[in-house]
Amino acid sequence: MTTSADRAVPPVRSRRALVAGSVGNFVEWYEFGVYGYFATVIAANFFTPEGGGDAEALVKTYASFALAFFFRPVGAALFGRLGDRIGRRPTLILVVSVMTLATTAIGLLPTYATAGALAPWLLTLLRIVQGLSAGGEFGGAVALMTEFAPPGRRGLYGSWQSFTVALGLLGGAGVAALLATVLTEAALNDWGWRVPFLLTLPLGAVALWLRLRLEETPGFTRAAARAEPAPPAGELVRAILLGAGRIMGWAAAGYTFLVVLPSYLQSALNASFRQALIATVLANLGFAASIVPAGALSDRVGRRAVMVTGAVLVVVVSLPLIDVLQDPGAPAALKGLAVFGAGAVVGLLAGPGPAMLAEMFPTRVRYTGLGLAYALSNAVFSGCAGLIVTELVERTGDVDVPAYYAAATCAVSVLALLTLRPDDHRRPMS
């Protein structure tokens, strides 16, 4: 049934909210993708003093990558509390402004050759600022989309959050691939890597303009007017931890296959930068292709059915995928199909995931609750993916490590996802 909490809003307002939430999210994930795709270049410019090795520099680069993720929960708590108190709109305006300025500043940083030991510290500081703002983006964007969604379409609307993740990663990969094609390796390492970060400034300006035109969500407006009490702290914490468990496989498999893959292919399988980027573009195309259909399907058959299927498939396909990539005799078309399929399977988790999290929390704590669940899971299982995979491959010599990591986390997620009720998608959000 439809209650006042699920009351339909005019379609033009729903579409405007969808676009404004999506564009800001695109900017965030474009930047995080760029950092992952240029990990080897950033390592050489910021983390390779004289006497340092390439593997050591790459580990330090991923440590900086992970650090930003560990500040995401702080940002989710900080901005989430703000968004649950003063509204989704003003908080999302602040978040996209901070992210844009921090990302642009990375493109202007001096390298180790210029600033010495100060360079990696400056980069790490900006990564922390990015982590804080990124932590506030997800909860607000998903709350915005789902609270504006028409009845029975929360899965579809929420899936656009994940879809713009794919678009952001594809945008970053596309820019990286273009630069790798038109520039020499020396130019790319010298100044070309800065271009994708500087492009964030105009992208962020567009996102800011769209969010300035937003209205506050009807759900938040009604909850604020009624002064609804927040749930007990213990209940909120349990829901956050359960939500993090439900999406840990999405977080780990998504970053393993969609972001860490380029550096893994280069460092472990001796692929060229261009080959690694092509593989990543194909994986992200598969990811993008399945997200929105998966979200829409979850509105019909339920979040649990779609997400459990996706997690089980990751467990099944992870090792065969890595084996195909390692096989020098495997046709290029087969390798391309394998990474495309891996991305599509992750999309089965990412499509229904945002709506599933939004439905776990009442309006008064939704921004904080779903933002923290997502940020905690990503801090541990996404932010550490590159560090864990790179370090374990280096120490053990086992190039199957990415498959083990993705499969193990998805196996645990299956258990958490089975606690979902089959009709959760039909229940009104409180």
CA distances 306 to 185, 215, 349, 361, Å, are 43, 32, 7, 20
Q: Is residue 179 scored above 70 in pLDDT?
A: yes
Q: Rounded to whole angstroms, what are the CA distances from 288 to 163, 169, 284, 294?
A: 6, 10, 6, 10
Domain membership flag for residue 3: no
Domain count, the chain: 1
Residue 1 domain flag: no
The angle subtended at Cα 199 by Cα 193 and Cα 204, nearest 5°, is 140
Using pLDDT thresholds of 50, 70 and 90, give the confidence band for residue 54. Answer: low
**Domain, as residue range, for 194:** 8-426
Handedness of CA 418, 386, 238, 4 (dihedral sign): negative
Compute the distance between CA of residue 339 and CA of residue 318 in angstroms, rounded to an integer: 10
Lookup result for tokens 């990503």: 378
- Does the pLDDT of residue 2 top 60, yes or no? no
Task: Give domain status of residue 400, yes or no.
Answer: yes
Residue 14 lies in a domain: yes
Residue 288 has pLDDT above 80, yes or no: yes
Task: Assess if residue 105 is contained within a domain.
Answer: yes
- Span of 34-43, 90-99, 104-113, 223-232 with lowest mean pLDDT: 34-43
3-state helix, strand and coil shares in percent for the chain, rounded to the nearest 5: 80, 0, 20
Classify residue 171: in a domain, yes or no: yes
Structure token pair of residue 104:
């642009």
Confidence class for position 56, pLDDT limits 50, 70, 90: low
**Does residue 246 have a pLDDT over 50?**
yes
Q: Average the pLDDT over each of 8-17, 100-109, 123-132, 361-370 and give the range with the smallest value.
A: 8-17
pLDDT mean across residues, the chain: 87
Are 63 and 46 in contact by the 8 Å Cβ rule? The answer is no
Average pLDDT over residues 353-366: 96
More confident call, 49 vs 81: 81
Read off the CATH number of the domain in which 135 is found.
Answer: 1.20.1250.20
User: From the CB of residue 139, how many other CB atoms can be counted at a distance below 10 Å?
Assistant: 34
Q: What is the pLDDT of residues 135-147, one digit of tens each?
A: 999 999 999 999 9
Between vectors from CA 229 to CA 227 and to CA 231, what angle results, nearest 5°? 155
2 within some domain:
no
Residue 290 lies in a domain: yes
Compute the average pLDDT of residues 326-341: 86
pLDDT of residue 327: 83
